[in-house]
Structure 1
Amino acid sequence: MTEAKDQPRGPDADEPGRVDPRLLEILVCPLTKTTLDYDAARGELVSRAARLAYPIRDGVPVMLPEEARPLDD
């Protein structure tokens, strides 16, 4: 049986807030279907149209509106 540590890892595997850039190209806001901005400092995907910031947990975007943070600005 192969240990998890022996599995190949992507270049961003050591950065929990990072998302595969190819995934960022295809993800859209689930409410507005508009593109998202990646906020690396906060580890979020930002929908300006919906005024929501979706969290990234363990490298996985959580694209549920009820998990998103409302934008204050």
Structure 2
Amino acid sequence: MVVELDPRLLEILACPSPDHAPLRPGTQDDPGADVLTCTACGRRFPVVDGVPVLLLDEAQPATDDAGDDRADDATGADGSPGEK
């Protein structure tokens, strides 16, 4: 079941990794998935009963195609955080 999150909540949520990138609902392959995907690192955070679980230990790793999910300037060519 796809859970709709309040758009205002999505505006303030960020990945708990050190770069604190914005999150977007779903994945590139499944926009209706019950996860929030980091726009920088590609980690996927589950949404359980409408509550985002923003713990790095609970996150699913980025998929091989996560490069398409990342913000253009969020990481360098070597995968290290880009300059902002």
TM-score clears 0.5: yes
- The structure 2 residue matched to 1:50, chosen from 33, 37, 41, is 41
Please list, as runs of the form range in 1=range in 2, the aligned pairs for 1:1-73 lying within 5 A after superposition: 17-31=3-17, 32-39=19-26, 40-72=31-63, 73=65
CA RMSD of the aligned region, Å? Answer: 1.6
Tell me if the contact between 2:2 and 2:33 (Cα under 8 Å) persists in the aligned partners: no
Question: Residue 56 of structure 1 aligns to a residue in which SS?
Answer: strand
Paired residues in the alignment total: 59
Structure with greater strand share of residues: 1
Distance 2:5 2:42 in 1: 21
Deviant stretches of 4+, over 3 Å: none
Q: Which ranges of structure 2 fall in alignment gaps of 5 or more residues?
A: 66-84
- Higher relative contact order at CA 8 Å, sep ≥6: structure 1 or structure 2? 1
Identity percentage of aligned residues? 41
Pick the structure with greater CA Rg: 1
Q: Which ranges of structure 1 fall in alignment gaps of 5 or more residues?
A: 1-14
